[in-house]
Amino acid sequence: MEKLITKIKALKLDNKLLVFSFVLLGVLSFFLELKPQNQPSPPPQIESSKSVDTFIPLGYVLIPIELTNAESLSSLIGDLGGVVDLYLAAKPDAKSGAQKKVASKIKILRAPLNPQQYAILIKESESSLILSQSGPFTAVVQNPASNGTEVTQNKRNLIHIQYQD
């Protein structure tokens, strides 16, 4: 022990300060480890629900549908879904050749466990109208804030030729 004290006395002042600082930090860290931790216990982990049925409003139902453009739709709408118009994909209308519109501005949701699966949120009273249609469907993304739009066709101006004598 005396050899250690003589070696410390033989050190220069700068080195003495370094040794003293090192010893002081060691003692402080030792006492801080002994101090009991008064941290609150972490809150209990609530298991996040992967089921969407807890978010269905009263009077509404969630109907899973098959979409022909599911891959394209997944890149356009977010994780929570969006607002779409729904058309029958398989059978065009015999008169006009256009696809039959089944529903307008309905909320479509993505399945949390399989993002390529979709379901529509619709009033329970109107669900039979969708279920009576045989899919698959095509979804067209709409602006959720718009009040309504109308597709108009340009009418050609007819040229009238009049002959005079």
Q: 46-60: per-residue pLDDT in tens?
A: 455 556 667 788 899
C-alpha to C-alpha distance for 141 and 108, rounded to whole angstroms: 10
C-alpha to C-alpha distance for 41 and 43, rounded to whole angstroms: 6
* 84 and 23 fall within a common domain: no
* 67 and 136 fall within a common domain: yes
- For residue 122, tell me if it sits in a domain: yes
- For residue 25, tell me if it sits in a domain: yes
- For residue 152, tell me if it sits in a domain: no
C-alpha to C-alpha distance for 165 and 93, rounded to whole angstroms: 49
**Other beta carbons within 10 Å of 150:** 4
* 11 and 64 fall within a common domain: no
- For residue 40, tell me if it sits in a domain: no
- For residue 120, tell me if it sits in a domain: yes
C-alpha to C-alpha distance for 9 and 2, rounded to whole angstroms: 11
| Neighbouring C-alpha atoms within 13 Å toward the C-beta of 41 | 3
Q: pLDDT tens across 78-136, in order?
A: 777 888 988 888 666 556 667 788 888 888 888 878 888 898 888 888 888 888 887 78
- For residue 44, tell me if it sits in a domain: no
Q: What is the pLDDT of residue 152?
A: 42
Number of domains making up the chain? 2
Do 109 and 134 form a contact (C-beta atoms < 8 A)? no
Beta strands in the chain (DSSP E): 60-65, 82-92, 99-110, 118-123, 137-142
Q: pLDDT tens across 64-85, in order?
A: 999 998 888 888 887 778 889 8
Q: What is the pLDDT of residue 151?
A: 43
**Parent domain of 18:** 2-29
Order the strands of the 99-110 sheet from edge to edge. Answer: 60-65, 118-123, 99-110, 82-92, 137-142
- For residue 46, tell me if it sits in a domain: no
**pLDDT confidence band for 1 (50 / 70 / 90):** confident
3-state secondary structure of 142: strand
- For residue 102, tell me if it sits in a domain: yes
Tokens 């379901």, located at residue: 119
Tokens 């959720």, located at residue: 144
* 64 and 134 fall within a common domain: yes
